[in-house]
Chains A and B, each alone.
Chain A
Amino acid sequence: MARITAGVTTSHVPAIGAAIDLEKQGTDYWAPLFKGYEWSKEWIANERPDVVVLVYNDHASAFSLEVIPTFAIGCADDFAIADEGFGPRPVPHVIGHPDLACHLAQSLILDEFDMTVINEMKVDHGLTVPLSLMFGQPSEWPVKVVPIVVNVIQYPPPTGERCFKLGQALRRAIESFEEDLNVQVWGTGGMSHQLQGPRAGLINQAFDNAFLDNMTENPDDLRKIPHIEYLRESGSEGIELVMWLIMRGALGDAVSLLHRFYHVPASNTAVGHLVLRAAAE
């Protein structure tokens, strides 16, 4: 049977992708950030997951304002790289796992999470930057990816509570897939940042570090954070953190912390990164 072995959270700032693509990892500005991922790259090379269920948000790349799905799942064979206005990132196509993805879509819908099914989609920095941070610059990605796309652009996004429960349903769905697969769930985006208006540049290190603490110690507190608190405390784009709660819900009650990293700034954003071992079945 498929099993969830670990979870990863990471910010997915587009400038990190640009720094990798333009070979700037060693500069004074970027080196401290990439150092925080060295442990994780070594760890994942040993873990060798078969599939990553990668929770992220599209940034007006695959989804325009014509249709705005709250939760969507990518069931395609592969996903091309989006051109976000400066040409596609020079990274490999992302290979899907349609058998698992279709099983997850069906299981989640019957478990009362009304997923939108995607059979063709280009993926943007929200999905490719986490892959680059964890795997570097391979000629092909060493895992298959099932994208789960969450609307966090148009209000209201799903609540943290709803995201956490989707994660719990995701665990049930993964564990009912017959093939023996080592599956990781990643929650991406965050941490505090605001990209718009006169308040742009807001960073709240106290909020972020409490959030990192509670991801392992007290996720029930995180489930209750209302949208207005994210907006006030973590900036208008800090709401992306609800996607971390899908990962956290999927990992089970008792997780153990393997790695934690926090860094300010990457462009306009506070970067947070966790690696968690899933609770035993």
Chain B
Amino acid sequence: MVDNSEFDDIPGTTVFTAVRSHQGFHLNQFCMSLMKPENRERFKVDEGAYLDEWQLTAPQKKAVLERDYNAMIANGGNIYFLAKIFSSDGISFQTAAASMTDMSVEEYAQMMLHGGRSPEGQRSIKEGR
């Protein structure tokens, strides 16, 4: 049996395994549909109606409508697919990434300018390193 328990030991990180890919299949396929301008337009006109065309769970739909990227990831979303949503919104990858942390967009941008988030204490929950 494949053991993925080490993946759960990394702070603030969700590893996109085959199981999560299965869980998030329809959510991620919806995201991909936004690569077509006509679909982006239909999504913008009525987000709820467009999402109803996809077999999303209630938590997945809620997370998309609220642009809660951590919740989308917890429900099987993958960041490269989810990028189609914030790209359609005209939002940069850095702004979207900042929204998943406990920092403001400006604080996050400053952290990146100063060399990014240190790996110290971010490697392992169990080992505290």
> Footprint of B on A, CB under 8 Å?
14-15, 59-61, 64-66, 68, 82-87, 153-155, 192, 194-205, 207, 228, 231-233, 236-237, 264-265, 267-268, 270
Contact = CB atoms under 8 A, between A and B. Distances in A.
A126 B119 CA distance: 25
A193 B93 CA distance: 12
A270 B116 contact: yes
The bracket for how many chain B residues form the interface is: 35 or more
Contacts of B21: 65, 68, 154
Contacts of A65: 21, 24-25, 28-29, 81
Contacts of A203: 112, 115-119
B12 interface: yes
Interface in B73-119: 73, 78-81, 83-88, 90, 92-94, 97-98, 100-102, 108, 111-113, 115-119
Nearest to A237: B79
Given A60-B32, A60-B84, A85-B34, A231 B10 contact: yes
Given A196-B79, A196-B100, A199-B117, A64 B87 contact: no
Contact of B112 (A153, A154, A196, A265): A265
Interface in B20-40: 21, 24-25, 28-29, 31-32, 34-37, 40
Given A154-B16, A200-B101, A203-B116, 19 more contacts: A64-B29, A84-B84, A84-B87, A85-B83, A86-B87, A155-B4, A195-B79, A195-B97, A196-B14, A197-B73, A200-B98, A200-B117, A202-B117, A202-B119, A202-B122, A228-B7, A232-B10, A267-B112, A268-B112
Nearest to A204: B119
Contacts of B118: 202-203
A201 B111 contact: yes
Interface of B: 4, 6-7, 10-18, 21, 24-25, 28-29, 31-32, 34-37, 40, 69-70, 73, 78-81, 83-88, 90, 92-94, 97-98, 100-102, 108, 111-113, 115-119, 122-124
Given A64-B32, A85-B34, A155 B100 contact: no
Contacts of B87: 84-86
A150 to B, nearest CB: 14
Given A85-B84, A205-B115, A232-B123, A197 B12 contact: yes
Contacts of A82: 35
Please classify the interface of chain A as helix (H, G, I), strand (E, B), loop, or mixed, using the class held by over half of its residues: loop
A88 to B, nearest CB: 10
Nearest to A194: B13
A31 to B, nearest CB: 14
